[in-house]
Amino acid sequence: MGQNTIYLDKVASTNDYLRELLSNFKPLAEGTAILAEEQFQGKGQRGSSWVSEPGKNLTTSILLKPQFLPIAQQFALSATIAIATVNWLQSKTEQPVAVKWPNDIYVNSKKITGILIENKLKGSKIDSAIIGIGVNINQINFDTATTITSLAYLTDRQDYNIKVLAHELFQVIQQEYLTLYKEGAQYQLSRYNALLFWKGEERPFLINGIKKTGIIQQVSSDGKLCVLLEDALREFDIKEITHLIT
């Protein structure tokens, strides 16, 4: 993982760059990574953007070929990447790190990492997956500073070596990827659920434009958020419910 790393000074999106390499039929080994100094059109979940100050943060995309994983279990790949990122960040701070469904990483109630996975399907399997990860590292100025954090904020230092951190993260992802292969999707899902942000807590959500209070129970094997609302358990897709974080 990351043994073949392509370093870029500036790119619109590391995910787009890696996808373009693949579309040009360029043979790329599994684990190939793109690491950019600056990404100016990064993408997040729900069509959102990922804005990163040049040279301050970790912006990378990794090519995986999880052809052992059926399409029905594709959320397990997302869970695996989230687990790896949480474990890696937890080694950097003593503060609690959690996964905000589906795959944002939070420290306390502030976002530090965004993950975007784009799968290419072939038959009943996942042919390849582009794993985009953005981690706030040395940046301390954010437009929405009340809901965003970085390693610099958490540890009071701004001299992290991005390349060193990236290769540390690659190694942790490789370990968890092998765990997914050996132990299976359900095992990784249970570990993911143990790291779930707001799990078991009565919290506010926005559902169909209406504010409601619910309690997260778990995430299902197909990646849906299971929330207890007024004594009824309901399942939600990514665009159907929003955490109301203040």
Average pLDDT over residues 48-58: 76
Split at pLDDT 50, 70, 90, the class of 49 is low
Tokens of 140: 């301390």
Q: Does domain 202-243 have CATH number 1.10.3300?
A: no
| pLDDT at residue number 53 | 84
What does the DSSP 8-state code read for residue 201? S
| Percentage with pLDDT > 90 across the chain | 83
Of these ranges, 15-29, 49-63, 220-234, the one predicted with the greatest mean pLDDT is 220-234
The predicted model gives 38-43 an average pLDDT of: 76
Pair 240, 207: CB distance under 8 Å: yes
- Cα gap 21→36, rounded to integer Å: 15
Backbone angles phi, psi at 154, to 5 degrees: -70, -30
Band of pLDDT at residue 46, cut at 50, 70 and 90: very low
So what's the pLDDT on residue 44? 53
For the chain, domain boundaries: 5-194, 202-243
- Identify the CATH number of the domain defined by range 5-194: 3.30.930.10
What's the whole-number average pLDDT of the chain? 93
pTM: 0.94
Left, alpha or beta for 143 (phi > 0: left; psi -120 to 50: alpha)?
alpha
In the chain, the amino acid numbered 121 is L
* Confidence at residue 16, expressed as pLDDT on a 0 to 100 scale: 95
Identify the helix (H) or strand (E) that includes residue 243: strand 241-243
Alpha helix (H) residue ranges in the chain = 14-23, 75-90, 151-155, 162-183, 185-194
Higher per-residue pLDDT: 59 or 45: 59
Which has more pLDDT, 18 or 50?
A: 18
Average pLDDT of the residues in 57-65: 97
- Is residue 105 pLDDT above 80, yes or no? yes
More confident residue, 151 or 22: 151
